[in-house]
Copies of this chain bind each other. A is one copy, B any other.
């Protein structure tokens, strides 16, 4: 993702946009809040406003570059890999794992159909306690 990729999406290749992309690409595994991205930029010595980060993330979402998730009322962002997946979250250490299950996806389609709905999206989050050695920890 670079200068010309942004233009291809109809977005001016501005410094803040390029830097936000850098941060997201450097955290391909993770799920970052706007605040997370903002702080990463400050730490990198960038001069950017939090409002701009919010705006840029929303634009990226609209452009299909980024996916916004709503975890407990807070927005978390991740690059859109193109492959849909859902999440399982440790309520103790906050770790987020990804999974995708064809059976569940299929059933959802059917359920929507049975209720006279045309699915546009869905959100499935499983909460639990992971058994990692470094867990339990307090959530972020």
Contact = CB atoms under 8 A, between A and B. Distances in A.
Copies assembled:
2
User: Secondary structure of the A side of the interface?
Assistant: strand
B99 A118 contact: no
B88 A115 contact: yes
A67 B88 CA distance: 20
A83 interface: no
A73 B119 CA distance: 20
Nearest to A124: B124
A97 B123 CA distance: 15
Interface of A: 70, 72-74, 88, 90-91, 97, 99, 101, 103-104, 107-108, 111-112, 115-132
